[in-house]
Structures are given as C-alpha cells and as structure tokens.
Amino acid sequence: MLKRGWKSRWIAALRSGKYKQAQSVLMKRSDTGKIKGYCCLGVLARVEGARFDQSGRPHVGGVSVKQINNDELLDEAWSGLSYNIQDTLARMNDDGMSFKKIATWIKKNVKAK
C-alpha cells in the first residue's frame, strides 16, 4: 500500500507536464549527464525525495531505493507499492501510455494508507 500523501503528490506530478517520459529505466540521462526523462516510477521516486546517481539509481538519505534483482522497480519496503503493481505500471509506461492516463489508472487502482 502506497504511503500516506504520496498518491496525491505522485498523481499531481504525472499530470503536471514537468516530467518528460522515458521507457525501460527509472531515469534516463543523455551522454552528457543531462536528465532526459523518467518512467512513472521514477517520477514517484523523484517526487518523494530521491536523488539519482549517474547510473540512474535513486537514493534517499544515501540508501538506494531501487530493487536489486530488477533494475526497473523500486524497493517495495520504501515505496509501499507491491512489485505486481509496479510491474503493471512499468509495462503501461514502457508500452507508451501517457503519464496522464497512468495517473488516472493510479487514482482508480492504487490504494494508499
């Protein structure tokens, strides 16, 4: 279950137009290191205080919040999102669903404390 307050901030961020969308990675950088975009899960990490290192791994307080076995998902204990929900969201994102449509799906299907 998503942590209290995170759902509304995440949905607002996805709908804001502030974040460019990327596929297959939480955060994508150019060869020069400039951020090119985020997947929907990367937006969640960014909105909730994660800072991304050069490899695209998000950290909060110096601790990685990326799942080790699957580089495309966030740590379940940190995010409160089950890996099944994250996998569904990652597939929607990588299949080209817009952030606005993903935000609507989150509003209807993701529970928060």
**Span 24-82, pLDDT tens digits:** 899 999 999 899 999 999 999 999 999 998 888 899 887 788 876 666 789 888 899 99
For residue 51, give the H/E element and its range.
Answer: strand 51-52
Stated pTM of the model: 0.92
pLDDT value of position 76: 87
Q: Could you write out the DSSP letters of every residue in 58-75?
A: EEETTEE-B-SS-TTSB-
Instruction: Check residue 48 and report its DSSP letter.
Output: T
**Mean pLDDT computed over 101-107:** 98
